[in-house]
Amino acid sequence: MLQGTLNGLFEAVVEATEEAIVNAVCMAETMTGRDSHTAHALPLDRL
């Protein structure tokens, strides 16, 4: 019984982490940092 409960917990943690990463990547904006290095935002219309 405990094994099944832990599997469900781990699955929920994986799904929540995946969702957080996707949200962070999609909401990121283009930024220019040190030495004029630029990190471009993803084009959301192409995803």
Averaged over successive runs of 10 residues, the pLDDT of the chain (47 residues) comes to 77 97 95 96 89
d(CA 8, CA 16): 12
Domain layout of the chain by residue ranges: 2-46
If DSSP states are collapsed to H, E and C, what string results for the chain? Answer: CHHHHHHHHHHHHHHHHHHHHHHHHHHCCCEECHHHCEECCCCHHHC
pLDDT value at residue 25? 92
User: How many residues in total does the chain contain?
Assistant: 47
pLDDT value at residue 47? 78
User: Is the full-model pTM beyond 0.75?
Assistant: no
d(CA 31, CA 42): 12
pLDDT value at residue 3? 65
